[in-house]
Structure 1
Amino acid sequence: MRLPKRRARWAWPRETDVPSELPPTAGLPLRVTDLLPGRAPFAERVAEWLQVEQLQLECSGTAAMVVALAAMKRLRPQRDEVIVPAWTCPLVALAIHRAGLKPRLCDLAPNHFDMDSSQLCLLAGDRTLAIVPTHLAGRVADVNATLDVAHRVGAYVLEDAAQALGAQHDGRSVGLLGDAGFFSLAVGKGLTLFEGGLLLTRDPVLRDAFAVSHDSTIRPDARMDWQRALELAGYTLAYRPSLLPLAYGRPLRKALAANDPVAAVGDDFGPDIPLHTVSEWRQAVGARALTRLPAFLDATRVQALRRVERLRQIPGITVFDDAPRQRGVWPFLLLTMPSEKARDEALRTLWTAGLGVSRLFIHALPDYAYLRDIVADTPLPNARSFAARSLTITNSLWLNDATFESICSVLERTVGQLS
């Protein structure tokens, strides 16, 4: 099956009721017909769409990272450190630890999600196995800056494109500038198998090593197959504004009422990382949904670019967009407020209002209690500032213009009152 070169206009599923809860991210809605029995070469079809030679399917983006790092470690056994941004998904640190390696944290550039290049140069050395630039929120990271450092010290570059399936740099998929990259297929990241991951490399030596690593690490698990199948079916039914109050809104408000923002955004991960195969049925579900993904990404891009321009009119707010030669994807809009006080004041109104306003990662990595034995607590002023001032706005097509404008009004009023 080839995806159509001429893309149909995206038609968002209609809700008969007034939307009561918007998702924090714009995931591709699944259809009941996607759940029909069948088989399909899912990874091959995604590779054809991305115009890459091959993709290796794993059960999550985290599992893909574990498989990749374990393979790199076998190829360069004298190296044991992996440099990552200090503000990123906590699962990144857990994946590095699961692969038997040590995370080293690089502070962010001022008011940006990219790593600070000067500190990166100081951290990288002869023990560095890999450096992990992160395409956060669908935005394309500066991989070239990381490549310069990695080449100097003989390290791999592993692009974390978990939130960026479909993003491009210079007309090519992200994940191709570095030595390898991986995508996530979790809920809310565009295309989903409920959980899934795709591993990408142009290097035939790494490709063979990834296959060997998969065979030595990943095992079939019937219990997980059933669990993920039920979760995927539940997502198909519940991912709509009329049912999201139960599936998303109620747990969110309960966690915030308990003063637990980590649980509210789903950052409360345990040490266990599931490592198992992906059933043929879930692959078939993904292959059916994939035919609608290009039009979905086009529609969300058009909406996002218009709304980025509106947010830029608010003094003191930074909203992240594509740089020249980049074409990211838009699951949500990532922005920073001028101060932590302003961010918290805006969230006091917006976070529980059902409008899809949220936070991405609550802390810099050392500030998660469950990571204290894994990551070192070092001075990270820019990462901690970014964590304290950032918020996200869903790019769901269910968020209409009038409701988006009401969010902007809250942000404007908050900034104005605290300036």
Structure 2
Amino acid sequence: MSDYIPFAAPCFDTAEEEAVLRVVRSGWVSTGAEAQSFEEEFAAYIGVAHAVALTSCTAALHVALKAYGIGPGDEVIVPTMTFVATATSVVHAGAAPVLADVGPEHLTFDPDQVKSLITERTKAVVPVHLFGRMAAMEPLRELCDSHGLTLLEDAAHTLPARDGDAVAGRAGDASAFSFFATKPITTAEGGMLCTDDARVADEARRWSLHGLSRGAVNRYRPGHSAAYDVDRPGHKYNMSDLAAALGRAQLAKAGRLHARRTAIAEVYLRELAGLDRLELPAADTATNRSSWYLFPVRVHGHRRDAFRQRLHALGVGTSVHFEPLHRFTWLRDHVVRTGQGFPVADAAADTLVSLPVFPAMDDAAVSRVVAAVRRAHDEAGR
């Protein structure tokens, strides 16, 4: 590690280098056999029948909504405590996002709040498995089933995670994963849609590639017909073989990457316990396990931003997850309903700081973060 510990960094070795070189040397770098293999391997890892490799989790959410026929006149309930893409993918599908407040423990969906927002226009509910911890899927599943709603998981943070019998990525009708540079596994930029529904997977593929009936790999190879049809005004969301090669190398070591994140989180939970102005995230239990994509702490009793600046001065990078959606200008003006409040999200938002918890950190770096957090905490209390 350098003298400065960043908030996040990818964890690559020769496996990723060799994977990318393999594709470069093959002469085929766009969507092809590598992307197909990544889809098959990822589907098997999650435990679903189908996976569609895409350019982002946002794209996965978008084409999933389109595949379920959700569009103009429809409403989709999303949490206010999430990244903006959860809501804007609904807008891109032509539907209206409806913001819900979250529960106080994990800052994921409050099922009672979701229930209160269901109308005759509601067509889907999108729980976000925040920070790496799953939302409460059992009551949300029951709620969606009773109202005939699609349950679409935003699983961008959760590879892997589980809550009892529920496993992130296969607890809803479909799920969307992110492979952004900071995520549990990365393709630099990328995402995946997972589902057991063959129709939804096929619709997603059509929407993701201009509405084409056949992709380039099935038109340019020797002996293949060049003919294709276009049955919809689709998008350009297909993943390249270069990105898929990175993803396959990362997926092969996903267990080790998760184990390292978990080990770092356990050190933080042990060594930072007892700091009176620092609220730590919940620990794993035998039945509820986080991906530890993030390690969010809540800073009480002094200004969060000053705490972050002190950590920066001590050589530790941090981030903030998230500014609630209802505070952003466009969503405040176009999405938030008159008189609607979000007291739980508002109470938490200005206290949150995400500490480094990426697998490339060595033990010395973890110890430095602990020492810096303790020092920043003590100095702020003087």
TM range (shorter): 0.7 to 0.9
Please give the alpha-carbon distance, in whole angstroms, between the structure 2 residues aligned to 1:301 and 1:44.
26
Match of 1:45 among 20, 35, 41: 41
User: Matched residue pairs, number?
Assistant: 342
Determine the structure 2 residue equivalent to 1:195: 189
Q: Does 1:288 pair with 2:249? A: yes
Match of 2:205 among 185, 209, 214: 214
SS at match of 1:47: helix
Q: Does 1:101 pair with 2:86? A: no
Q: Does 1:311 pair with 2:302? A: no
Shift of 1:284: 2.0
> If the length of structure 2 is used for normalisation, what is the TM-score?
0.81
Kindly indicate whether structure 1 or structure 2 has the higher relative contact order, using CA contacts under 8 Å at least 6 residues apart: 1
- The amino acid that maps onto 1:408 is V
Give the 5 Å matches for 1:16-415. Answer: 19-25=2-8, 27-29=10-12, 31-38=16-23, 39-40=33-34, 41-73=37-69, 80-110=74-104, 112-170=106-164, 173-202=167-196, 204=197, 207-219=198-210, 275-321=236-282, 322-339=284-301, 341-351=302-312, 353-361=314-322, 363-376=323-336, 378-396=340-358, 397-398=360-361, 400-413=365-378
- The amino acid that maps onto 2:38 is F
- The amino acid that maps onto 2:245 is A
Shift of 1:172: 6.1
Shift of 1:144: 1.5
Give the conservation status (yes or no) of the 8 Å contact 1:73–1:79. no
Give the conservation status (yes or no) of the 8 Å contact 2:272–2:370. no
Please give the alpha-carbon distance, in whole angstroms, between the structure 1 residues aligned to 2:89 and 2:342.
21
Please give the alpha-carbon distance, in whole angstroms, between the structure 1 residues aligned to 2:345 and 2:199.
36
Shift of 1:171: 6.4
- The amino acid that maps onto 2:335 is V
Which string of whole-angstrom CA distances, capped at 9 and with x for unpartnered residues, describes residues 326-348 of structure 1? 22212330121225x43233123
Give the conservation status (yes or no) of the 8 Å contact 1:85–1:105. yes
SS at match of 1:391: strand
CA RMSD of aligned residues (A): 2.7
Please give the alpha-carbon distance, in whole angstroms, between the structure 1 residues aligned to 2:123 and 2:249.
38
> If the length of structure 1 is used for normalisation, what is the TM-score?
0.74
| CA distance 1:139–1:413, shift in 2 (3 Å) | same
Which string of whole-angstrom CA distances, capped at 9 and with x for unpartnered residues, describes residues 161-214 of structure 1? 101122233466312222221111111002111111111223x3xx31342243
SS at match of 2:69: helix
Please give the alpha-carbon distance, in whole angstroms, between the structure 1 residues aligned to 2:77 and 2:306.
34
Please give the alpha-carbon distance, in whole angstroms, between the structure 2 residues aligned to 1:111 and 1:297.
22
Same amino acid, percent of matched pairs: 26
Greater CA radius of gyration, 1 or 2?
A: 2
Please give the alpha-carbon distance, in whole angstroms, between the structure 2 residues aligned to 1:25 and 1:294.
18
Give the conservation status (yes or no) of the 8 Å contact 2:50–2:201. no
- The amino acid that maps onto 1:219 is H
Please give the alpha-carbon distance, in whole angstroms, between the structure 2 residues aligned to 1:128 and 1:180.
17
Determine the structure 2 residue equivalent to 1:251: none
Structure 1, gaps ≥5 residues long: 1-14, 221-273
- The amino acid that maps onto 2:329 is A
Shift of 1:371: 3.5
Please give the alpha-carbon distance, in whole angstroms, between the structure 2 residues aligned to 1:309 and 1:173.
26
